[in-house]
Structure 1
């Protein structure tokens, strides 16, 4: 009998974020389409504002109210965001590269068709993350609670969870590579036909037995 080969698991590749000397700036000066580099915003207020196509590069936000902000097609690059509050946030088509988000409370976040590269979300809570048709590459969630994560039609490569709870995970028509779910407490998974490329523990697989059976039309009985 041939020896069973263990699956190769590739973790997200995320480098340490090192920011240059930053200039203290006022969030009131930020406008749609603007380019802002090497700036620090403390207790920033962007709530309710249309900031489509704005770019932040090598910036830091220490406290940010972004409720109902419009960040369509925005670009966030090499930036740290701490204590973000956004019961609602619309950022369709936005691009996030080398971004760290920490200790934040997010409600309904629309990141459909967004591009996330080398992004880490830590010690945060998200009610609903709409990542339909988004691209996620090298993304890590640590110590987070996510009520609903919608990856419908998303392209996912090297995404991992560490000590997280995901109440509902939706994978309909997603394309997955190295989606490491071992560190996520999963309550409900939809889109089982698209789970190829996901990694789960034996316990998670056992917990999902009834879901797998329903999907395959199998009756489990003693």
Structure 2
């Protein structure tokens, strides 16, 4: 799990660098499946229940929008900012995110299973029951956010960092990791999958906190 010297050799994530052009306010009504949205700002809109499956959002900003039950499966977000979005049950399964900033989101039960995230920063906010099963995360930074019962089951994580964030009841079952830095997590509560942390880096204090789960995984009884 943690090899001598690994902390010095862990590769840092390449951070997203989003530079949006001057944007035009979206005034087109409801989203459309396979829609093509370029250089637009979606601000203070109720997008709940709308169907934008397969749509492409390039050089776009989505700010303070409601996304409850929105259908965005296999949507593509390229060079985009999602700020202050909120909602329950948003379907982003199989979606692609490249060079994206997700800032101060308040989401619950968001479906990102099978999604692909590359050069993504998740900063601030709180996400409950995040489903990232079988997703692929590369150069992703979770920063100053709260993740409640996130499910990474079967996902692939490469150069992923957790900085100042809280992971509560995380499921890492079957995860494959490379250069995953957990040292900056202020809370690291792993409910399942502690045996899948090979390729991750943790701090000595986190190792102490995880010792009971590690002992149980190894079948070791600790008797005073």
The two structures have a TM-score, normalised by structure 2, of 0.94
Structure 1 residue ranges, 4+ long, deviating more than 6 angstroms after superposition: none
How far apart in 1 are the matches of 2:124 and 2:27? 26
Do the aligned partners of 2:31 and 2:50 also contact (CA within 8 Å) in 1? no
Is there any run of 5+ residues in structure 1 with no aligned partner, and where?
A: none
Q: Per-residue CA shift, 1:147-194, capped at 9, x if unaligned?
A: 111111101101111111111111111110011111111123411221
What pairs with 1:22-171 in structure 2 (closer than 5 Å)?
22-26=23-27, 28-171=29-172
- Aligned equivalent of 1:199: 201
Contact 1:156/1:179 (<8 A) preserved = yes
Deviation at 1:29, TM superposition (A): 4.4
Say if 1:188 and 1:70 are closer, same or farther in 2 by CA, change over 3 A.
same
When the two structures are aligned, how many residues end up with a matched partner? 219
- Unaligned 5+ segments in structure 2 are none
C-alpha deviation, 1:95, in angstroms: 0.5
Q: CA separation of 1:6/1:67 partners in 2, compared to 1, >3 Å: closer, same or farther?
A: closer
Residue number in structure 2 paired with 1:216: 218
CA distance in 1, matches of 2:181, 2:28: 37
1:33-53 alpha-carbon deviations (Å, 9 max, x no partner): 100101112112210112110
For residues 181 and 191 of structure 2, what CA distance do their matches in structure 1 show? 14
Cα distance, 1:195 vs. partner? 1.0
2:134 and 2:61 map into 1 onto residues whose CA distance is 28
CA distance in structure 1 between the aligned counterparts of 2:57 and 2:51, rounded to whole angstroms:
15
* Matches of 1:172 and 1:150, distance apart in 2: 8
Work out the CA distance in 1 between the residues paired with 2:73 and 2:16: 26
Alpha-carbon deviation of 1:88? Answer: 1.6
Determine which structure has greater relative contact order: mean sequence separation of CA pairs < 8 Å that are 6+ residues apart, divided by chain length.
2
Distance 1:182 1:157 in 2: 15
Separation of aligned partners in 1, 2:147 and 2:33: 29
CA distance in 1, matches of 2:195, 2:96: 28
RMSD: 1.3
Higher strand share: 1
Tell me, in whole angstroms, the C-alpha distance in 2 between the residues paired with 1:69 and 1:29.
11
Secondary structure, in 3 states, of the residue corresponding to 1:213? helix
1:138 to 1:23, Cα distance in 2 relative to 1, 3 A: same
Q: CA deviation at 1:85?
A: 0.6
Structure 1 length normalisation: TM-score? 0.94
Supply the distance in 2 between the matched residues of 1:204 and 1:27 (Cα, whole angstroms). Answer: 49
With 211-220 and 178-187 compared, the bigger mean Cα shift is at 178-187
